[in-house]
Amino acid sequence: MKRVLILVDNSRRDLLPSELLKVKFEQNGTIVDFCNKRNYKIKIREFCPDAFLVSRGDLPFLAQISRVCKVYVVPAEGARLTPETMKSVFLGRIHNGKQLDQTGEVIEGFDHISKVYLWGDRTRRFLLSTEMFKEEQLKVAGNGRLDVYRKNEQKKMHNDFTIGIAFSIKSLSSFEGNVNYLKIIHGFFDEAKSGRFPMVPEGRHYEDYVWRDFAIARQMLAVILTIMSTTNYKIRFRVGPFENINDYKFLHELYPDRIFIQDQSEQLIDFLEQIDLMLTCWSSTGLESVLMNVPVIAIPYLIEKEHLFAHIAPEANGFDTFLRIYYTPESIEEVMKLIEQQKSKQLPLVPDIEFYNEFLRDIYNWPTQVSTTTFIVDDVLKDLENTQTMADIKTMKFSPKIEKILSLIPLPDRYSVKFLRVLNDIKFFIADIKSGKYISSKMHHELSNSEVSKLVESVKNYL
Comparison of pLDDT for 10 and 223, the residue scoring more: 223
d(CA 26, CA 207): 46
Please indicate, yes or no, whether residues 72 and 160 belong to a single structural domain of this protein.
no
Plot region of 42 (φ>0 → left; ψ -120 to 50 → alpha; else → beta): alpha
Same domain for 351 and 443, yes or no, is: no
Confidence of residue 137 (pLDDT cuts 50, 70, 90): very high
Quote the pLDDT of residue 195: 57
Nearest to 94 by CA among 85, 77, 190: 85
Q: CA gyration radius for the chain?
A: 23
**Are 159 and 64 contained in the same domain?**
no
Q: Which among 364, 390, 407 is the end of a domain?
A: 364
pLDDT of residue 4: 97
At 114, the pLDDT band (50, 70, 90 cuts) reads: very high
CATH of the domain at 195: 3.40.50
In a domain, 95, yes or no: yes
Single residue among 364, 397, 427 that ends a domain in this structure: 364
Does residue 202 lie in a domain region?
yes
Asked whether residue 216 falls in the same domain as residue 313, the answer is yes
Higher-pLDDT residue of 401 and 297 is 297
180 and 54 inside one domain: no
Identify residue 364 by its one-letter amino acid code. Y
DSSP 8-23: -SSHHHHHHHHHHHHH
The pLDDT of residue 153? 62
| pLDDT > 70: percent of the chain | 89
pLDDT computed for residue 227 by the predictor: 98
Q: Show the domain range for 334.
A: 155-364
The reported pLDDT for the residue numbered 346 is 96
Indicate whether 287 and 412 sit together in one domain: no
The answer on pLDDT for 261 being more than 80 is: yes
Helix/strand/coil percent split, the chain, to 5: 45, 10, 40
* pTM attached to this predicted model: 0.81
* Calpha distance 302→325 (Å, rounded): 17
3-state secondary structure at position 117: strand
Considering the domain architecture, whether residues 356 and 415 belong to the same structural domain is answered as no
pLDDT band (50, 70, 90) for residue 132: confident
The total domain count for the chain is 2
Q: What is the mean pLDDT of residues 8-20?
A: 90
**Residue 150 located in a structural domain:** no
Helix boundaries (H) for 100-205: 121-129, 181-187
Say how many C-beta atoms besides its own lie within 10 A of residue 105's C-beta: 15
Instruction: Please identify, among 364, 389, 410, the residue that sits at the C-terminal boundary of a domain.
Output: 364
47 within some domain? yes
Q: Of 196-200, 250-254, 299-303, where does mean pLDDT reach its minimum?
A: 196-200
Q: Please report whether residue 283 resides in a domain.
A: yes
Higher pLDDT, residue 322 or 52: 52
319 & 386 share domain: no
pLDDT digits (tens, 9 = 90+) for 350-382: 999 999 998 888 888 888 889 999 999 999 999
Stronger pLDDT, 264 or 319, i.e. the higher one: 319
172 within domain boundaries: yes
Asked whether residue 176 carries a pLDDT value surpassing 80, the answer given is no
Residue 373 is part of a domain; what is its CATH number? 3.40.50.2300
Burial class of residue 358 (count of CB atoms within 10 Å of its CB; 0-12, 13-18, 19+):
exposed
Assess if residue 149 is contained within a domain.
no
pLDDT at 193: 53
In what helix (H) or strand (E) does residue 106 lie, and over which residues does it extend? none
Give the residue from 367, 350, 363 showing the smallest Cα distance to 294. 350
User: Does 95 score more than 70 pLDDT?
Assistant: no
One domain for residues 166 and 93: no
Choice among 100-109, 190-199, 301-310, 344-353 with the minimum mean pLDDT:
190-199
pLDDT value at residue 72? 97
pLDDT value at 59 more than 70: yes
Let me know whether 171 and 305 are in one domain. yes
Q: Looking at per-residue confidence, does 115 or 436 come out higher?
A: 115
Q: Given this model, what pLDDT does residue 1 score?
A: 87
Domain match, 92 and 188 both: no
Q: Are residues 344 and 220 in the same domain?
A: yes
Tell me how far CA of residue 339 lies from CA of 278, 294, 398, 451, in angstroms.
10, 12, 56, 30
